Structure 1
Amino acid sequence: MSEAAEYDPYAMPTDAIQEPPVSLWAALRKIGPGIILAGSIVGSGELLLTTSLGANHGFAFLWLILFSCVIKVFVQTELGRYAISSGKPTLGAINELPGPKFGAHWILWCWLFMMLTTIFQLGAMTGTVGQSLNLAFPKVSAEIAHRLGYVPKINGEAEGSTAGTDAMPEEDRSTYLGALIHERPESPWAVLTCFAAVGLLWSGSYRRIELITTVLVVGLTLITFTATCALPATNYPIPGSEVAKGLTFALPAAGIAAAFG
């Protein structure tokens, strides 16, 4: 058998194995891949689902959120360790688990379905980023809509029109694109976010991705920690009794679909 046929891209050559760091600074210099992994798994569940559950159901699902955070850490850690030690990709390792197979292990089919639905979630997450940026800079989309031909109404008539037969509906005086951006002001920011992500990944620079991800993960962690510590000093402190209720392992029927959806 030729050498090319025996080549395994997932095999871990012995000369690629590095000695573990022995000092804190040396260990911190090795956390880049872990930071990127942390940034990749922080998504709509952490940023949107948990906040919506809290807004709609209070602290009832606090225990479930804490449990999922703990489980996620151990699952990600052990899968990563096994992949490194065995040289097998994660999906290949899961495919070797005991259980029924339909061409592939049933867990892999569940993973495929999850990934297909995640693609649709990416659009929702991009729109959420656009909404956040539009709230921070509301004049940008308004200016873009104006330059693309949007004509606002004044007292029920299009600006610049005259009463009577010369009056024209807004949709006739505004361009389609201008009216669209006026109705959906997050759209320009969402498009910009998509192009920025494509450009970042297209560059193929690991160092750049590591630096940006580190800033985002550290920044998000510090902001969350600071906001939590500052909350008792505001007009909306967290009562200890509410936190205790969230640790009673209750499952409100009205929120089960949202919690596990």
Structure 2
Amino acid sequence: MSELTSAKRNPLQTPVDPYQLDPADAVEPPTTFRGRLKYLGPGLVISAAVIGSGELITTTALGAKAGFVLLWLVIISTAIKVWVQMELAQWTILNGKTALEGFSQVGTKVRGVGWINMLWILMDFAKVLQRGGIIGGTVAALSIMAPVIGEPLGQPSLIFWTVVTVALVITLLSTSKYGIVERFSLVAVVLFTVITVGLALALPLTDFAYTGADLASGLSLAIPAGTIGFAVAMFGITGVGADEMTTYTYWCLEKGYARWTGPDDGSENRARRAEGWIRVMRTDVLVSWIVSTLCTLSFYIIGAAILHPQGLVPEGNEMITTLSRMYTDTMGGWAMWAFLIGAVAVLGSTFVASSASVPRLWTNTLGLLGVIDWKDLKSRQRTIRVLTIVFPIIWAISFLLIQSPVIMVQIGGIASGIFLIAVVIAVWRLRATEVAPRFKRNRVFTIALVLSSFAIAALGIYSTLKVFGVGIGGE
């Protein structure tokens, strides 16, 4: 028997409706690590989504401001949250539901949604600023490369490239197909990972070389005065944040993990298939975590080694110019073009991933509120297409009005930190009520989930106090 078998359909065939489970779509999962690699994809989309804003902007700015001393936080921030991500995705595979549907089951419902859904809506309004910052970084890089109208960072040039960028992304995503998002993310992730990690590894050969002692100083678990705000934003935004955890469930469904598992008929065969596809999902998360960690560490080390000694911290529309110093100061003026191309790939991939995911989440929310019928394929697709046009325009306008990408991204990061604690509560509730004991018996995963939950709760408490102006530790 081949490694993958299907009753009626090709397992890689695009389904009529990716959010409906059909017994005919159930297939046997791969049994080897190599086989599982063939079915990766959702994690690449998540990597493309998180690396642009967190890694390039916030993490580099933190390295520029704090030096190597917060290197330890980079490692923790990318590793600690994946366990909650995996638990939520496991629930999705077992139940065939989206995260927002799960959130609506926690607490009392009002018009079809729960308190966590309402908190998500509030968080997403705050994320408008962050997504505007992503567009701003992309547009600034394009404007420097080709000013077109006036000065490189002048208003006319920025407006021109904002219109062009938004139009291109809307056109790319006009079909709303998952496969397009995955393929674009794969190319972008490979490109910016190679460029970023390569530069970080090459720094010891330049005038901005770092030593083993520098790296060791970054593992001391210290947080210097004046960097706590940056640190909280970085913890909330690097690696997988609350919105990425939520979005990941949609990509798992559209990839097919739940559909290939099949509806729960109580049989041993179905439980065994579920275990197999959950292993595929965990492999997908592992690969995504490795990519995210490598890029995050690289950006932080580059900021700490090059920008920090010169007192350069990325701010405002000059962010791209400041960040480009990481390249030009080590490799010469020609490297400006290499950096700008890389910046467009990094930030542009985040813009594309957000433009693909947010309309799906809002469409699902409108379905829960009874505004549209989420289960009706045509209604769902039509709403997603409309929102794919509307949201990028709103984000672009927010950038043109505020024009401070670093601050905008940090605001979104703090909002994500607050929402993380709500996601943890939902995960434990759904785990207790809709996950069979068979899928909770791995003690290593359970212990990791507990530790992850405590860390995220601490971040959420701190972020909430920060919003209300309560200082901690002499802030």
Kept in 1: contact 2:149–2:156 (CA 8 A): no
Aligned residues: 215
Matches within 5 A, 1:6-21: 12-21=21-30
Measure the CA separation in 2 of the matches of 1:116 and 1:240. 43
Note the C-alpha offset of 1:95. Answer: 4.2
Q: Distance in 2 between matches of 1:54 and 1:225?
A: 15
* Cross-structure match for 1:246: 218
Q: Which residue of 2 aligns with 1:86?
A: 95
| Aligned-partner residue type, residue 91 of structure 1 | L
**C-alpha separation in 2, matches of 1:214 and 1:42:** 13
CA drift at 1:53:
0.3
Partner of 1:257: 229
Cα deviation, residue 188, structure 1: 2.1
Counterpart amino acid of 2:138? V
Mapping of 1:128-139 within 5 angstroms?
128-135=137-144, 137=145
Q: State the superposition RMSD in angstroms.
A: 2.8
What's the counterpart of residue 59 of structure 1? 68
Tell me the equivalent position of 2:370: none
Structure 2 counterpart of 1:221, which letter? T
Report the CA distance between 1:105 and its aligned residue: 4.9
Q: 5+ residue gaps in structure 1?
A: 1-8, 146-178
Identical columns (%): 33
SS at the partner of 1:253?
coil
Q: Residue type matched to 1:86 in 2?
A: N
Q: What secondary structure does 2:173 align onto?
A: helix
Identify the residue that residue 204 of structure 1 maps to in structure 2: 176
Equivalent residues of 1:11, 1:88 under 8 A apart: no
Measure how far apart 1:54 and its partner are. Answer: 0.3
Matched-pair contact (CA < 8 Å) for 1:181–1:187: no
2:143·2:153 contact (CA, 8 Å) conserved in 1?
no
Provide the residue aligned with 1:144 in structure 2. Answer: 149
Which of structure 1's runs of 4+ aligned residues deviate more than 6 A?
A: none
Q: Deviations over 1:56-89 (max 9, x none)?
A: 1112222222111012332322222211112222
Q: How far off is 1:10 after superposition?
A: 5.3
* 1:154 aligned partner: none
Looking at both structures, which has the greater relative contact order when contacts are Cα pairs under 8 Å and sequence separation is at least 6?
2
CA-to-partner distance for each residue in 1:75-122, whole Å, 9 max, x for gaps?
32222221111222212324445xx65845544443322211111221
> Which residue pairs with 2:130 in the alignment?
121
Cα displacement string for residues 34-61 of structure 1 (whole angstroms, at most 9, x for unaligned residues)? 3223223334122210000000111222
| 1:229–1:210 Cα change, 3 Å | same
Say if 2:47 is the partner of 1:75: no
Task: Please state which structure has a larger fraction of its residues in helix.
Answer: 2
- Structure 2 residue runs without a partner (length 5+): 1-17, 233-413, 415-475
Letter in 2 for 1:144: I
Confirm whether residue 39 of structure 1 aligns to residue 11 of structure 2: no
CA separation of 1:235 and 1:180: change in aligned 2, threshold 3 A? closer
From the CA coordinates, give the structure whose radius of gyration is larger: 1
Please report the TM-score for the alignment, with normalisation by the length of structure 1.
0.71
Shift of 1:246: 1.9
Q: Is the 8 A contact 1:181 1:188 kept in 2?
A: no
1:226 maps to 198
Residues 173 and 180 in structure 2, CA contact (< 8 A), matched pair in contact too? no
TM-score, length of structure 2 as denominator length: 0.41
**Aligned CA distance change for structure 1 residues 211 and 203 (closer, same or farther; 3 Å):** same
CA distance in structure 1 between the partners assigned to 2:178 and 2:217 by the alignment = 44
Choose from 28, 31, 42 the match for 1:22.
31
Task: Give the match's secondary structure for 2:226.
Answer: helix
